[in-house]
């Protein structure tokens, strides 16, 4: 079997991209270097902010840069591309149409995973950037599967944006209790599970060792799928 190579269109954001690379190593069943997957990682931190553009189209457009990066990865010979950023999937179809190799959709994969692993899943909470919520990316994925999507209140959405941009992306201390309170609010509102639909939130889950079956980590789901597509075994089943 020909070895598969993963292309990572990263830098959105840089810390989440580095954590994704760590997940690829930690989640692969390997007893030597050669047992791990091969990857090409483009950690392009200067890509314009995705949420900023979604909310205001007069802001710098990240799409041309992401298309250029996807084409670079394709020329490097990767077999498929992943983007460790949920908000960037607002541009999924346009990026995919500009390359001939598959672009894995983190949002579709995450909702599929939630449906398969959460028993009697009826209502799914979405914790994400204002850009992802406004784009309704997760809402549409849920509705296609007859799952009711739920989004945070305006106040909790503002708190999440503060955590994502002013704490994780800024390299500052994270207000863990505020983050956990938002999760509990979603659960108390009837959500059977909550998706971490922003990869900066995945970084929080990792740093604070949050292990809950009702908290679905989109970055872990993407890493799992990447390992499978490369024909490797998972070290531990999620």
pLDDT tens-digit map of 164-190: 999 999 999 999 999 999 999 999 999
pLDDT at 1 over 70: no
Domain locations in the chain?
5-105+221-229, 106-218
Q: Tell me if domain 5-105+221-229 and domain 106-218 are identical in fold.
A: yes
> What does pLDDT average to over the chain?
96
Annotated catalytic residues are 85, 198
Buried b or exposed e, range 208-230, using 16+ CB within 10 angstroms = eebeeeebbbbbbbbbbbbbebb
Q: Residue 236: what pLDDT? A: 72
Side-chain-side CA neighbours of residue 213 (13 Å): 8
Fold exhibited by the domain 106-218: Rossmann fold (3.40.50)
Fold exhibited by the domain 5-105+221-229: Rossmann fold (3.40.50)
Q: Residue 3: what pLDDT? A: 87
User: What Cα–Cα distance (Å) separates residue 54 from each residue in 27, 131, 167, 198?
Assistant: 33, 6, 21, 15
């Amino acid at each position: 079997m020909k070895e598969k190579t993963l292309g990572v269109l990263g830098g959105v954001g840089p810390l989440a991209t580095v954590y994704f690379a760590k997940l690829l190593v930690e989640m692969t069943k390997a007893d030597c270097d050669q047992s791990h997957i091969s990857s090409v990682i483009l950690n392009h931190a200067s890509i314009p902010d995705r949420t900023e553009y979604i909310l205001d189209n007069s802001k710098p457009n990240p799409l041309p840069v992401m298309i250029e990066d996807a084409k670079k990865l394709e020329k490097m010979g990767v077999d498929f591309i992943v983007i460790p950023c949920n908000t960037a999937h607002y541009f999924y179809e346009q990026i995919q149409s500009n390359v001939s190799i598959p672009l894995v959709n983190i949002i579709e994969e995450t909702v599929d995973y939630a449906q398969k692993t959460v028993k009697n899943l009826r209502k799914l909470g979405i914790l994400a950037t204002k850009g992802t919520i406004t784009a309704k990316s997760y809402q549409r994925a849920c509705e296609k599967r007859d799952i009711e999507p739920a989004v945070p209140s305006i106040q909790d959405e503002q708190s999440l944006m503060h955590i994502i941009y002013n704490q994780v992306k800024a390299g500052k201390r994270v207000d863990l209790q505020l983050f956990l309170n938002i999760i509990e609010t979603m659960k108390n509102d009837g959500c059977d599970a909550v998706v971490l639909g922003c990869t900066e939130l995945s970084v929080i889950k990792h740093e604070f060792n949050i292990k809950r079956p009702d908290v679905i980590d989109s970055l872990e789901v993407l890493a799992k799928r990447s390992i499978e597509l490369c024909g490797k075994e998972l070290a531990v089943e999620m």
